[in-house]
Amino acid sequence: MEKKNIDWSNLGFGYIETEKRFVSNYKNGAWDEGALVSDSMITMSECAGVLQYAQTCFEGMKAYTTEDGRIVTFRPDLNAARMEDSCKRLQMPVFPQDKFIEAVSKVVEANEAYVPPYGSGATLYIRPYMFGSSPVIGVKPADEYQFRIFATPVGPYFKGGVKPLTIRVSDFDRAAPNGTGHIKAGLNYAMSLYPIVTAHEEGYDENMYLDPKTRTKVEETGGANFLFITKDGKVVTPKSSSILPSITRRSLMQVAKDYLGLEVEEREVYLDELENFAECGLCGTAAVISPVGKVVDHGKEICFPSGMNDMGPVTKKLYDTLTGIQMGRIEAPEGWIHVIK
């Protein structure tokens, strides 16, 4: 199979249309078989549930080439399970988890020419999503839904080396205490656009959102969970029912414990204890971990000892170990690497 002529290491994070996508429709209470199709366009009612009341959720994962040339995805079972949680919370039908994993494999295989080669730093980003497609005007769930998966090649996250981020404490809230923060809903992102655009305009890379009830505890950013390293090398991650359960973060916590022998703790993390930490990172599928060098809380700067030039030493070890597991250089825990071919 011949790869596409793409300058993999200079790819950005943008949409590039690939050849095939998976589409399945839900109608009369059941999903159809689903199929790979070539048409990237969607035609639906002007009154579709997704257009009127934002009934939609998504997942994000990637396929990539390992050191020994296999094409794999990382823990797709957890994406399937999380999408089930998202669908249930939004009154959407669940796409069966085994079929989800199968469909991901089909899309990757059908677009094999777009799976970047090992060592390029690029990956094939996979986007499963679902939306209410039938007309809805009185507020209620749609009767019909579409589940789709497309794939698009994306470049290495850290082009030209790692650069620690500067983030600000946001005055906006990401998720209500008993709202939808724990599911991957498009609506959580729509409301984060104003805070992120203004953050960028003011020179910050990301927003740190606090718990909306007390505004004293750290939640997450718009699209990544926090990890903190204490001065004595313990790995701490915030605990809250309104944080999206990042698969990367859960994997890193396990790597910290089982591979690096570090103490790990999921607990409430207060804003006023940030200055005690040695390192800070953001975790998500795209970057695995992005180091944070500085948090700015309304003019007060909290600078982590790891500084503004490099990843902190523990963050780096976590990053190297998890990416080593993903790329097949380090033996993976049972079930983490899903081989497509």
Ligand X SMILES: *Cc1c(COP(=O)(O)O)cnc(C)c1O
Point out which residues bind ligand X (CB under 6 A).
Answer: 60, 184, 220, 223-225, 244, 246-249, 283-285
Q: Which of 20, 106, 184, 217 is catalytic?
A: 184
Toward ligand X, which CB reaches closer, 153 or 223? 223
Toward ligand X, which CB reaches closer, 65 or 285? 285
In the complex, the smallest distance separating the C-beta of residue 119 from ligand X, rounded to whole angstroms, is 22
Among all chains, which residue has been given the structure tokens 């948090």?
A: 295
Toward ligand X, which CB reaches closer, 155 or 223? 223
Instruction: Give catalytic status of residue 184 as yes or no.
Output: yes
94 and 88 Cβ atoms separated by less than 8 Å: yes
In the complex, the smallest distance separating the C-beta of residue 247 from ligand X, rounded to whole angstroms, is 3
Could you give the 3-state DSSP secondary structure of residue 14? coil
Instruction: Determine the Cα–Cα distance for residues 274 and 218; give it in Å rounded to an integer.
Output: 9
**Encoded tokens for 337:** 């690497």
Toward ligand X, which CB reaches closer, 136 or 185? 185
4 and 120 Cβ atoms separated by less than 8 Å: no
Dihedral of alpha carbons 202, 204, 205, 207, sign: negative
In the chain, the largest separation of any two C-alpha atoms, in whole Å, equals: 58
Beta strands per DSSP E along the chain:
21-27, 30-31, 35-37, 56-58, 61-65, 71-74, 123-132, 145-154, 165-169, 206-208, 225-230, 235-238, 264-267, 277-284, 288-297, 300-303, 337-339
Which helix or strand (DSSP H or E) is residue 138 part of? none
Toward ligand X, which CB reaches closer, 81 or 260? 81
**Encoded tokens for 210:** 């606090």
In the complex, the smallest distance separating the C-beta of residue 81 from ligand X, rounded to whole angstroms, is 11
In the complex, the smallest distance separating the C-beta of residue 184 from ligand X, rounded to whole angstroms, is 5
- CA-based R_g, the chain, Å: 20
Instruction: Determine the Cα–Cα distance for residues 170 and 209; give it in Å rounded to an integer.
Output: 6
Toward ligand X, which CB reaches closer, 244 or 314? 244
**CB atoms near residue 213 (< 10 Å):** 13
In the complex, the smallest distance separating the C-beta of residue 11 from ligand X, rounded to whole angstroms, is 19
In the complex, the smallest distance separating the C-beta of residue 189 from ligand X, rounded to whole angstroms, is 7
62 and 128 Cβ atoms separated by less than 8 Å: no
Q: Give catalytic residues, as residue numbers.
A: 184
